[in-house]
Homo-oligomer: A and B are copies of this chain.
Amino acid sequence: MGGGTGSAPRDSRLSGGAPRAGDLLGDELRGVDAYWRAANYLSAGQIYLLANPLLREPLRVEHIKPRLLGHWGTTPGLNFVYAHLNRVIRAGDRDVIHVTGPGHGGPGTLANTWLEGAYSEAYPDIGQDEAGMCALFRQFSFPGGVPSHVSPEVPGSIHEGGELGYSLAHAHGAALDNPGLIVACVIGDGEAETGPLAASWHLNKFSNPATDGAVLPILHLNGYKIANPTVLARIPQDELDALLRGYGYAPRFVSGSDPATMHRDMAAALDWALDEIDDIQRRARTGDGSGRPRWPVLVLRSPKGWTGPSHVDGVPVEGTWRSHQVPLSAVRENPGHLAALEQWLRSYRPEELFDDSGAPVEQVRAMAPAGNRRLGSNPHANGGLLLRSLRLPDFRTHATEVAQPGGSTSQPTRVLGRWLREVAEENADARNFRIFGPDETASNRLDAVYEVTDKQWQAGTLDTDEHLSGDGRVIEVLSEHLCQGLLEGYLLTGRHGLFNCYEAFIHIVDSMFNQHAKWLKISRRLPWRRPVASLNYLLTSHVWRQDHNGFSHQDPGFIDHAVNKKAEVIRVYLPPDANTLLSVADHCLRSRDYVNIVVAGKNDTPDWLSIEDAVLHCARGVGIWEWAGSEDGGEPDVVLACAGDAPTLEVMAAVSLLREHLPALKVRVVNVVDLMRLQPDTEHPHGLTDPEFDALFTTDKPVIFAYHGYPWLIHRLTYRRNNHGNLHVRGYKEEGTTTTPFDMLVLNDMDRFRLVIDVLNRVPGLGVRTAGLRQAMVDKRARHHAWTRTHGEDLPEVLDWAWTN
């Protein structure tokens, strides 16, 4: 064994004098084992039993579920960890939450939370008695019940065990700014093969031992995935030891299968780990020592399907991939399997573990911590309980003065950065707001925040570094997965945050977003889960201004991806200027239980709306810009609609051209900030009713819509609207390259000249008498294109345009 399993020195302990591993009396060890057996029994029961939960009578086929679904393999190891965490929580009156990374660990966590009573408090219809046990068994992987992985329905969880790879990032997010908390994170060896998990080991380069809580990774090597061995279980132990030391940890191994030995080893190892954590924290918090500590990590090597059937039908099952799901699969058809199941279940001696009523006996109950110390009841794992609203400074004080629309320009994210600086400052004491970014916070022009805070960093520093320190509100790591995982963990434990990211690369976390949106949909329907702060994306360095980085950096499709998720949790905002961005951001940081996607530019953008108008416009989400159009009270001849900063600029320029060349044409300008307003009100809570939509977009006039992203999305949102047949959308159509900003618009047919041509094409009767104007527009596009290719920049006469009312 790599790190040895003997007792570690105890002199550095901070907490009280409760019994320790070395002091483990026979009684306590037996208690832990009884608790573990009870949890294993309940886990197997969930997979198999519809009735006869306590085996009060011989097991018969009619007691067995018709569909045997669930995952036994990882469960006994998880139960083992849970039982031992309970011991140290009780012993030290510690504040601990757990994150269960391995897939399909549901039966175990459900069993444990039921044993400790937390489950019955969340679900009073599933009591701690025989009927409750029967209901617990029945609901598992059963229609109308709960899935076989740890899900939002499980008390004490902030982590879905469905898609794999995010446990350690979630754990670190939970630990941030929770100095009294320990997050025990069980990492499956299957999960450990994923990219996000592999990257997460380095999060110890960001964790501050003085101001953050501790993460205790417990790498669980049960050796197998669905049908294959795992990489980390099949490398020599010295290699794994080097790997973990290379990640910056102090590893200790607990390996074996004999329960008594394993109990002693695990107890000693956990005591050692908590001693190490105590010592690291004491030193960091008393100024005794500096630098990045070597946090402990435990490696638990135990058989897959531990304590389950050793062999089935003559082939080994325990300790192989064959125990991944249901070790005995033919119990309803094969009497031998049925007998083996009964023998297996009785091997846990349920009659010793549960009393006549079906409740756990005192020996078992006593092993669980009390009240909020229970892993299933810790309020950190139901973060809404702890959530405090942010102190939000008045964003209006950061507004850009707008003497006349388009008369000045601002860099929207730079303006936002100044407000975020104040948000960081105002909530510095509360320590409940963080900004995450993949090395892009300055590039995205939010760097004003560095006037009041730093980037948190625990790795080495040099004199030339700027804004790096052990304690800061910004965390930057070049992994969108880690940014997302940290923020999710931070939010689900009751805090607030923002993830700023290049628009194109947010697709890296598409699947993480999926799982978080699914989590929110379910958790919103659970009365005992309290609302948490929304997950806020600020997507900038967007498609229209990645002209210098080229095609690979151009993708506005995250919105398309997001709107497939439940409408009740998805919000999408496209503020056209700095003041609208301020108003949107303030709204998002106040909201709960949503995913807010804000797309905004960092480059100079005309200021269109005063802050008062911006607030009003954002509250409406969509509106006619009367001052920009030329309707003159009546119905317009054409509607020019826009969503996004670049489209808004092009529409305004197009309108300017139309007013100059076709002064009689009645043009309406509609700007969309809240994209979900376009959907029918039956599809999205923000959706406009049909009369509202018709009042903006008419029922029969041509609508030229310049949209920030892929044009098809606007059709997907509006296909049921009365005037959809007249809707013509321009947007990004994958014609990206390295060029100038305006040439990007030309290449994608969303430039002002093209929009004018669209109007000429679509408004009845304009065709012939505007041939000259059309040709002028065609010529301007061609001239611009040629100019950029010669001069390498935009044609000044295009850029020099300015809006005038």
User: Which of A's residues lie within 8 Å of B, judged by CB?
Assistant: 50, 65-67, 69, 138, 141-149, 151, 160, 162-165, 190-191, 193-202, 205, 225-231, 234-236, 239-248, 316, 319-320, 439-443, 455, 457, 459-462, 464-465, 468, 476-479, 481-482, 504-505, 507-508, 510-511, 514-515, 518, 521-522, 548-553, 555, 557, 560-561, 564-566, 710, 712-713, 715-716, 719, 724, 734, 737-740, 743, 788-789, 791-793
Q: Which residue of B230, B235, B242 is within 8 Å of A242 (Cβ)?
A: B242
- Apart from A193-B479, A560-B564, list 12 A-B contacts with CB within 8 A: A66-B791, A138-B792, A149-B550, A195-B198, A195-B199, A198-B198, A227-B476, A242-B242, A243-B243, A244-B246, A508-B510, A716-B719
B522 touches A514 (CB 8 A): no
* Beta-carbon contact of A551 and B564 below 8 Å: no
- Do residues B151 and A552 form an inter-chain contact, with CB atoms below 8 A? yes
A143 touches B468 (CB 8 A): no
Q: Which residues of B contact A743 (CB under 8 A)?
A: 143
Interface centre among A143, A196, A549 (most CB of B within 10 A): A143
Could you tell me the distance in whole angstroms from the C-beta of A728 to the nearest C-beta in chain B? 11
Knowing A229-B459, A792-B50 are in contact, say whether A551-B147 is a contact too (CB < 8 A): yes
Alpha-carbon distance between A66 and B141 when the two chains are bound, in angstroms: 64
Task: Decide if A163 touches B561 in the complex (CB within 8 Å).
Answer: no
Is the beta-carbon distance between A549 and B478 smaller than 8 angstroms? no
Inter-chain contacts of A510 with B (CB < 8 A): 507-508, 510-511, 561
* Cβ contacts under 8 Å, A478 to chain B: 164, 190-191, 193-194, 225, 228, 230
Closest 3 CB pairs of A and B: A243-B246, A162-B552, A195-B195
Q: Among the listed B142, B190, B793, which residue makes an inter-chain contact with A738, where contact means beta carbons less than 8 Å apart?
A: B142
Cβ-defined contact, A231 with B143, below 8 A: no
Q: Is the CB of B66 within 8 A of A508?
A: no
Q: Which of B145, B468, B561 contacts A561 (CB 8 A)?
A: B561
Task: Determine the chain B residues whose CB is within 8 A of the CB of A460 once the complex forms.
Answer: 229, 234-236
Are B141 and A226 within 8 A (Cβ)?
Answer: no
Given the contacts A195-B194, A511-B508, A564-B734, A231 and B202 also touching, CB distance less than 8 Å? yes
Determine if B246 and A231 form an interchain contact, defined as CB atoms under 8 angstroms apart: no
Chain B residues, CB < 8 A from A507: 510-511, 514, 561
Min CB distance A141 to B, Å, is 6
Which residues of chain B have C-beta atoms less than 8 A from A565's C-beta? 734
Question: Which residues of B have CB within 8 Å of A151?
Answer: 550-552
The CA of A515 and the CA of B141, in the complex, are separated in Å by 38
- A605–B362 Cα gap in the complex (Å)? 52
Whether the Cβ atoms of B522 and A149 lie closer than 8 Å is no
Enumerate 5 A-B pairs (CB-CB under 8 Å) in ascending A order.
Answer: A147-B549, A149-B549, A229-B462, A246-B247, A514-B555
| A226-B443, A511-B510, A564-B560 known; A67-B793 Cβ under 8 A | yes
**By DSSP majority rule, is chain A's interface helix, strand, loop, or mixed?**
loop
**Nearest B-chain residue to A160, judged by Cβ:** B552
Closest chain B CB from A679 CB (angstroms): 10
List of B residues within 8 angstroms of A194 by Cβ:
195, 199, 478-479, 481
Q: Whole-angstrom distance between the alpha carbons of A246 and B236 in the complex?
A: 9
Bound: A239/B248 CA distance, A: 7
Task: Find chain B residues with CB under 8 A from A710 CB.
Answer: 564
Query: How many copies of this chain does one complex carry?
Result: 2
- Please, how many angstroms separate the alpha-carbon atoms of A738 and B143 in the complex? 6
- CA distance in complex: A165, B50 (Å): 48
Known: A245-B246, A716-B715, A792-B50. A552 touches B193 (CB 8 A): no
Chain B residues, Cβ within 8 Å of A146: 738
Q: Which of A165, A241, A246 has the most CB of B within 10 A?
A: A246
- How many angstroms from the CA of A522 to the CA of B735 in the assembled complex? 10
**Least Cβ–Cβ distance between A567 and chain B, in angstroms:** 9
Smallest distance from the beta carbon of A659 to chain B beta carbons, Å? 30
Q: Evaluate contact between A465 and B145: CB separation under 8 angstroms.
A: no
* Contact among B455, B548, B553 for A228, CB-based, below 8 A: B455
* Residues of B close to A142: CB separation below 8 A: 738, 792
Q: Given A505-B511, A560-B561 in contact, is the A793-B149 Cβ separation under 8 Å?
A: no
Q: Is the CB of A226 within 8 A of B461?
A: no
Q: Is the CB of A734 within 8 A of B245?
A: no
Tell me the complex Cα distance, A751–B229, Å. Answer: 39
Bound form: Cα–Cα A507–B737 in Å: 25
Chain B residue, CB-CB nearest to A240: B246
- Please measure, in the bound complex, the distance between the C-alpha atom of A514 and the C-alpha atom of B504, giving whole angstroms: 9
Given contacts A234-B460, A478-B193, A566 and B226 within 8 Å (CB-CB): no
User: Do B738 and A226 touch (CB < 8 A)?
Assistant: no
Quick one: closest B residue to A225, CB to CB? B439
* Shortest Cβ gap from A282 to chain B (Å): 23
- What residue in chain B is nearest A679 (Cβ atoms)? B712
Shortest beta-carbon distance, A524 to chain B, in Å? 13
Q: For A235, list chain B residues within 8 Å (CB).
A: 205, 248, 459-460
| Contacting residues, chain B, for A144 (C-beta < 8 A) | 737, 739, 788-789
- In whole Å, how far is A165's beta carbon from the nearest beta carbon of chain B? 7
Question: In the complex, A194→B199 CA distance in Å?
Answer: 6
A464 proximity list for chain B (CB < 8 A): 316, 319-320
- Which of B226, B553, B793 meets A439, CB within 8 Å? B226
* Interchain nearest-CB distance for A47 vs B (Å): 12
Q: Which of B164, B439, B561 contacts A190 (CB 8 A)?
A: B439
Tell me which residues across on chain B come within 8 A of A713, comparing CB atoms. 716
A242→B239 contact, CB < 8 A: no
State how many angstroms separate the Cβ of A448 from the closest Cβ of chain B: 14
Report yes or no: A564 in contact with B553, Cβ–Cβ below 8 A: no
Q: In the assembly, what is the distance between CA of A788 and CA of B462, in Å?
A: 64
Q: In this complex, which of A145, A234, A789 has the most chain B Cβ atoms within 10 angstroms of its Cβ? A: A234
A442 contacts across to B, CB distance below 8 A: 226-227
CA–CA, A565 and B142, complex, Å: 39
Q: CA of A739 to CA of B244 in the docked complex: distance in angstroms? A: 40
Q: In the assembled complex, which residues on chain B have CB atoms less than 8 Å from the CB atom of A226?
A: 439-440, 442-443
Do A792 and B564 have beta carbons less than 8 Å apart? no
Q: Give the chain B neighbours of A190 by CB distance below 8 A.
A: 439, 478
Interchain CA distance A455-B69 in the complex, whole Å: 27
Docked pose: A561 CA to B564 CA in angstroms? 10
Query: How far apart are the CA atoms of A464 and B504 in the complex, in Å?
Result: 45
**Which of B234, B236, B443, B738 makes the CB contact (< 8 A) with A148?**
B738
Asked whether A461 lies within 8 Å of B551 as measured between CB atoms, the reply is no
Q: Are B552 and A145 in contact (CB under 8 A)?
A: no
Q: Shortest beta-carbon distance, A602 to chain B, in Å?
A: 13
A147 contacts across to B, CB distance below 8 A: 549-552, 737-738
Q: Which of A144, A522, A789 has the most CB of B within 10 A?
A: A144
CB-CB < 8 A to A521: which residues of B?
551, 734
Q: What residue in chain B is nearest A229 (Cβ atoms)?
A: B465
Contacts of A245 in B (CB 8 A): 239, 242-243, 246
CB distance from A248 to the nearest CB of B (A): 6
